[in-house]
Amino acid sequence: MSRASGILMHITSLPQEEGIGTFGSKAYEFADFLKATDQQYWQILPLGPVGYGNSPYQAFSAFAGNPYMIDLYKLVEEGLLPKDENIVLSKIGNDSSKVDFETVTPLKLKLLHKAYEASKQNPEIMEAIEEFKEENASWLMDYSLFMAIKNEFDEVSWQEWDPLLKCRDKATLSRYREKLKDQIEFWIFVQYEFFKQWYELKEYVNGLGIKIIGDIPIYVSADSSDTWAQPELFKLDEDCNPITVAGCPPDAFTEDGQLWGNPIYDWGYLEATNYKWWVERMKQNAKLYDMIRIDHFRGFESYWEVPFGETTARNGQWTKGPGIKLFNAINKELGDVAIIAEDLGFITDEVIELREKTGYPGMKILEFGFDPEGESEYLPHNCNKESVAYLGTHDNETIVGWMQDPGNKRALAFAKKYLRLTKKEGYAWGFIRGLWATPSELAIAQMQDILGLDNTARMNIPSTVGDNWNWRIKEDALTEEISSKLKRLTKIYGRKVEKDAKRSTEN
């Protein structure tokens, strides 16, 4: 990898006229902005269908896509929605700076149902959907049945379903497949449109010379088609309830630790199957993205598991993960997959050793680096070449929010000296300059930091549910001044692909 840079902004944060960012025109315009400013990467969050709390890290499936990212205007172009349909969905929610999930979700779903009904009259689309079914049979049918049943039972978790349905009694499943046949076909149609639109967008982005960095959580949601359809992959009891769940131990930030609640993998079973499910998951994501960031990489070395029913993560324990065996299996089946290891949190020598064995670049978070007490590994000059440097991630404060935090007063004073921050340049831009100057081959800035926004634009506050995942960029935010500043820094710090260098490489 040559020196490069990019921007982290999720699809839902785009300013599309549907109350939520989609694969529509604004996504293409953002790709043009990346090209115009010489960025080579666009990083996004997971694309899965979100459940309670709207977190992309708690999806209904590890393989399916989020229906609400489908662009309705494209469905008009396909003839699946009438041109006079009122889909100028800026009417959905009055705050253009946030996604109003409660309003967007039912209204978009209603229009997707309308498009589905129209698709039944289009033989070409119906034929394409049949091909899509065959290509994605390993997960699509279970997911579509799962979603149809959830809809039938007012969206309650599958663990609250009737015991025969919950634990997949064959006769019961057969009865529901027949009863909910049309609903199942609807969810298949939705996935067909999602992937069709995504691959069209990806082709355009790649055509500009820009690569997409995707993101996958290490765990799947407890309320997901994965846990329901393949319980043998997880540590579940005979009643299909989790035996243990995932989390993080207590630390300086959370005295009770973090109780995530995700079911734990049965790594023994997975090893006996040559990690087939994980290989299929990585294969799917390698098609979706050009590079994959794996969240909570340390969990592959050892993970914190907590007895099911605990109210905090205090009474958990460290348990050994699959280690290098998993990644050897992935490499054997798929070859070299471009992966970023999110090696943050409680990191031991064993975790570092595993990452080094894989050869994957780790992450450096500059917000963590400006400790005046010592030489932090996250200070810009300590970032190693084989790493990806960030000011912060979706889980951190924006850089302006970090500067405004009274608890960071001494760290900010140190940063001002280290980076030679000035009001004339703008403190936020001074931090971006420091990020772009790191030895790290790849540097990624959140769009909120490019815009100099405070913590009201923060994407997520870990261990909280409510006002998360809903930030949106405003229509006129990407000014000519921002574009020129970003382009200038990218050139100064050697993160631009020079035409001559590209031509010599091709020769």
Residue-level pLDDT, tens digit, the chain, 507 residues: 689 999 999 999 999 888 899 999 999 999 999 999 999 999 999 999 998 899 999 999 999 999 999 999 999 999 999 876 655 544 555 567 899 998 899 989 999 999 999 999 999 999 999 999 999 999 999 999 999 999 999 999 999 999 999 999 999 999 999 999 999 999 999 999 999 999 999 999 999 999 999 999 999 999 999 999 999 999 999 999 999 999 999 987 788 999 999 999 999 999 999 999 999 999 999 999 999 999 999 999 999 999 999 999 999 999 999 999 999 999 999 999 999 999 998 899 999 999 999 999 999 999 999 988 878 999 999 999 999 999 999 999 999 999 999 999 999 999 999 999 999 999 999 999 999 999 999 999 999 999 999 999 999 998 788 899 999 999 999 999 999 999 999 999 999 987 644 433 444
Q: Strand 302-307's sheet: what is its strand order?
A: 258-263, 244-248, 302-307, 317-320
**CB-based contact 28:204 (threshold 8 Å):** yes
What distance in Å separates the CA atoms of residue 463 and residue 259, rounded to the nearest whole number?
8
| pTM for the full predicted model | 0.95
**258-263 and 244-248 strand pairing:** antiparallel
* Cα 388 to Cα 206: distance, rounded to the nearest angstrom: 20
Residues marked active site are found at 295, 342, 395
Residues in CB range of 88: below 8 A, 6 or more apart? 17
The end-to-end CA distance of the chain, in Å, is: 18
Given this model, what pLDDT does residue 92 score? 58
Question: Hey, what are 361's tokens?
Answer: 């670049």
Structure tokens at 2: 């040559």
**Look-up of token digits 């207590």:** 250
Distances (CA, A) of 50 to 112, 132, 331, 360: 16, 22, 29, 28
Nearest Cα residue to 390 out of 445, 427, 325: 445
Token code pair at residue 131: 């091909």
Residues in the chain: 507
Q: Does residue 449 sit in helix, strand or coil?
A: helix
Are 58 and 47 a contacting pair, CB within 8 Å? no
Under a CB-based contact definition with an 8 Å cutoff, are residues 225 and 51 in contact? no
Tokens of residue 231, six digits: 């319980």
CA angle centred on 249, ends 305 and 358, rounded to 5°: 70
Helices (H) then strands (E): counts for the chain: 19, 12
- Look at residue 82 in the predicted model and tell me its pLDDT: 87
Element (H, E) at 437: helix 427-437
Query: What are the tokens at 93?
Result: 């929610």
Taking the C-alpha atoms of residue 434 and residue 366, their distance in angstroms, rounded to an integer, is 9
Predicted pLDDT at 88: 53
Q: What is the pLDDT of residue 17?
A: 83
Instruction: List residues bridging with 445 in a β-sheet.
Output: 7
55 HSE (CA, 13 A, CB side): 20
Tell me the sheet residues that pair with 277: none
- The beta-strand segments (E) located in 325-390 are 339-341, 362-365, 387-390
The pLDDT value recorded for residue 83 is: 79
